Amino acid sequence: MDKAKQKRQRRQRAHFRVRATISGSSVRPRLTVFKSAKYIYAQIVDDDKGTTIAQANSRETDIQSKVEGGAKTLGAARMVGEVVGDRAKKAGIESVVFDRGGYVYHGRVKEVAEGARSKGLRF
């Protein structure tokens, strides 16, 4: 088995463990993070209804134009967190549960969380 496949399977197992313990509700939805090799995505999900309340990603042109160094940087990740935080506030969400998606809470994942916190989301 190649190294990339092992890494992907480790992350998926970690994500299943995290999802077994947390879920989002309409009162306190789940802020989930997914990162690819090029981009980072964040969305706020109400698991009771199965709907996405707010989302942001580093592929959006307004985020890419404001960040130096491209969509893969820590600055882009922080901007994604800030945008999703703003959109959540507009939707009336103040508190969320953070789902790191099986990733280590470090680097781009941490920057998304800090960006969302800077806009007033509590978790």
Using pLDDT thresholds of 50, 70 and 90, give the confidence band for residue 88. Answer: very high
pLDDT at 118 over 80: yes
Using pLDDT thresholds of 50, 70 and 90, give the confidence band for residue 1. Answer: confident
Strand 97-99 to strand 30-35: parallel, antiparallel, or no bridges (unpaired)? parallel
Residue-level pLDDT at 92: 95
- Is residue 52 within a helix (H) or strand (E), and if so which, with residue range? strand 51-57
Q: Distance (Å, rounded) from C-alpha 6 to C-alpha 24?
A: 29
pTM for the model stands at 0.91
Q: Distance (Å, rounded) from C-alpha 45 to C-alpha 25?
A: 8
117 burial level (CB within 10 Å; 0-12, 13-18, 19+): middle
Domain hosting 88: range is 3-118
Q: Is residue 75 part of a domain?
A: yes
Residue-level pLDDT at 70: 86
Q: Is residue 95 part of a domain?
A: yes
Residue-level pLDDT at 55: 97
Q: Is residue 123 part of a domain?
A: no
- Is residue 57 within a helix (H) or strand (E), and if so which, with residue range? strand 51-57
Q: How many domains does the chain have?
A: 1
Supply 98's token pair. 């953070």
Averaged pLDDT of the chain: 95
* CATH number of the domain residue 59 falls in: 3.30.420.100
Residue-level pLDDT at 53: 96
